[in-house]
Each structure stands twice: as C-alpha cells, then as structure tokens.
Amino acid sequence: MSDRLGPVLTDEELRLLKELVEKPQTISGNRARDGLRRLIEAGYVDEVSLNLSETCYAITDRGCRAVVQAGA
C-alpha cells in the first residue's frame, strides 16, 4: 500500500478502521482521539464537528480499501 501511512497500519489503526466500517463513531468531550489523527491526515477517516464538544468520525472509501488490503 503506497500512501502517507506507509506500508503497514498499526494494529490499533486497523482496529479503529474496522470499528468505523461497522458505523460512524461520535466522540464527546475530552475522550482520546489520538489514534484517529494519523488516519484523518492520511485520508482514511473523515471528521465532522457536530458542536463544540462532539465530533463524528466516519471511514472513507480509502479507509475501506486499506481494511480490505490488510486482509481483515
């Protein structure tokens, strides 16, 4: 896979992508978003601010392809 994440997704990144395949996730307040930052920057995940304290995260087509390529 030749993209900005490099040839291999971490186990945690792949787990997050698999969760997003099932359904978009909303994160409220100060819950950790660190694992998503690299995926957003690489175009695997979209983020939409719902209001000041909630953000919705959804997998992109590119993210879905990464899950398939990883053999998940």
Whether 42 and 8 have beta carbons less than 8 Å apart is answered as: no
pLDDT number for residue 72: 53
Reported in sequence order, the residue ranges of 1-72 that DSSP labels E, i.e. its strands, are 25-28, 45-49, 54-59
Q: Which domains does the chain have, with CATH numbers?
A: 11-69 (1.10.10.10)
Q: Is the pTM of this model over 0.85?
A: no
Which residues does the chain have with pLDDT short of 50? 1-2, 5
Q: Residue for token digits 């819950």?
A: 31
Give the mean pLDDT of the chain: 84
